[in-house]
Amino acid sequence: MKKKLVSLAISSILVSPAFANTLSNPQIGVVLDGYYQNGERNNSERSEGFGLGHTEISMSANIDDKFHGVLTTVLETHGDETELLLEEAFIQTLTMPYGFNIRGGRFLSDFGYMNNQHMHSDSFVERPVAYRTFLGSHYYDDGLRANLVLPTDMYIKLGVEALSGSKMSAVDDATAVGVYTTTLKIGDDFSESSSWQFGLSYLRNENGKVTSFEEHDHSTDGHDEHDHSHASAVTGTNLYGADFVWKWAPNGNYKYSNFTLSAEYMLLDDILDSKFKGEKDAPDTLAAYYVSGVYRFTPSWSAGMRYSDAESYDGHAHGDHVHLTSLSDSEIEAMVAWDSSHFGTVRAQYTRVENQDKATDNVFTLQYVMTFGAHGAHAF
Amino acid sequence: MLSAPALALNIFVCEPEWKALLAAHAPKATIYSATTALQDPHYVQARPSLIAKMRQADMAMCSGAELEIGWLPMLQARSSNPAVQNNKQSMLYASEIVSMLDTHHHVDRSMGDIHAYGNPHVQFAANDMIRISRVVSKRLESIDPANAFSYLVNGVKFREHWRKKLIEWEQRAEPLRGKQVVSYHETYRYLFDWLGMEQIADLEPKPGVSPTTAHLQSLTKLDPASFDAIIYSSHQNKRAANWLHQQTDKPVIQLPLTVSKGQTLDELYDRVLDDLLNVLVEPVKD
pLDDT in tens, B58-97: 999 999 999 999 999 999 999 999 999 998 999 999 999 9
The backbone torsions φ and ψ at residue A17, rounded to the nearest 5 degrees and listed phi first, read -55, -40
Q: How far apart are alpha carbons A362 and A325 in whole angstroms? A: 24
Contact A341 B113 (CB under 8 A): yes
- Look at residue A13 in the predicted model and tell me its pLDDT: 39
Among the partner residues B36, B46, B80, nearest to A379 by beta-carbon distance = B46
A237 contacts A225 by C-beta, under 8 angstroms:
no
Q: Do A252 and B55 touch (CB under 8 A)?
A: no
Q: pLDDT for A92-130, tens place per residue?
A: 999 999 999 999 999 999 999 999 999 999 999 999 999
Pick one of 3.90.1150.10, 3.10.20.600, 3.40.50.1980, 3.40.50.920 as the CATH number of B174-280.
Answer: 3.40.50.1980
Nearest alpha-carbon partner for B39 in B59, B22, B19, B14: B14
In total, the C-beta contacts within 8 angstroms joining chain A to chain B are 140
Q: Among the listed ranges A63-77, A122-136, B159-173, which one has the minimum average pLDDT value?
A: A63-77
Nearest to A265 by CA among A42, A41, A45, A111: A111
B88-107 burial by CB neighbour count: b if 16+ within 10 A, else e?
Answer: bebbbbbbbbbebebeeeee
B148-172 helix and B16-25 helix, angle to the nearest 10 degrees: 120
Q: How close, in Å, is residue B46 to chain A by CA atoms? A: 5
pLDDT in tens, A182-229: 999 999 999 999 999 999 999 999 999 999 888 765 444 444 444 455
Phi, psi of A348 (to 5 degrees): -115, 135
Instruction: Give the A window 319-378 contacts with B, CB below 8 Å.
Output: 341-343, 372, 375-378
- Between residues 144 and 163 of chain A, which touch chain B (CB distance below 8 Å)? 147-157
A80-107 burial, b at 16+ Cβ within 10 Å, e below that, comes to: eeeeeeebbbbbbbbebeebebebbbbb
Question: H helices of A93-240, where?
Answer: 129-134
From residue B125, how far is each of A243, A319, B187 by CA, in Å? 44, 81, 11
The pLDDT, as a whole number, for residue A18 is: 40
- Residues of chain A with Cβ-Cβ distance to B112 below 8 Å are 341
pLDDT in tens, A10-27: 444 344 334 434 445 788
DSSP string of B168-229, one letter each residue: HHHHHTGGGTT-EEEESTTTTHHHHHHHT-EEEEESSSBTTBPP-HHHHHHHHTS-GGG-SE
Instruction: Please indicate whether, in this complex, the C-beta atoms of B43 and A185 are within 8 angstroms of each other.
Output: no
Give me the interface pTM, i.e. the ipTM. Answer: 0.90
* Averaged pLDDT of chain B: 93
Domains of chain A, earliest start first: 91-363 (2.40.160.10)
Query: Residue B25: which pLDDT band, with cuts at 50, 70 and 90?
Result: very high
Number of helices (H) and strands (E), helices first, in chain B? 9, 8
- Is B40 within 8 Å of A151 when comparing Cβ atoms? no
What pLDDT is recorded for position A15? Answer: 41
B204 contact partners, CB below 8 Å, separation of at least 6: B112, B184, B185, B210, B211, B215
CATH homologous superfamily for B10-167? Nitrogenase molybdenum iron protein domain (3.40.50.1980)
Write the burial class of residue A228 (CB in 10 Å: 0-12 exposed, 13-18 middle, 19+ buried): buried
3-state secondary structure A311-380: EEEEEEEECCEEEEEEEEEEEEEEEEEEEEECCEEEEEEEEEEEECCCCEEEEEEEEEEEEEECCCCCCC
Distance, in Å, from the CA atom of A297 to the CA atom of A150, rounded to the nearest integer, reads: 36
Q: Are A94 and A68 in contact (CB under 8 A)?
A: yes
Q: Do domains B10-167 and B174-280 have the same CATH topology?
A: yes
Higher pLDDT among residues A10 and B32, named by residue: B32
For chain B, the structural domain boundaries read 10-167, 174-280
Residues of A in contact with B100 (CB under 8 A): 18
Question: How is residue B109 annotated by DSSP?
Answer: G
User: Does the CB of B149 have a partner CB in chain A at under 8 Å?
Assistant: no
Max intra-chain CA distance, chain B? 64
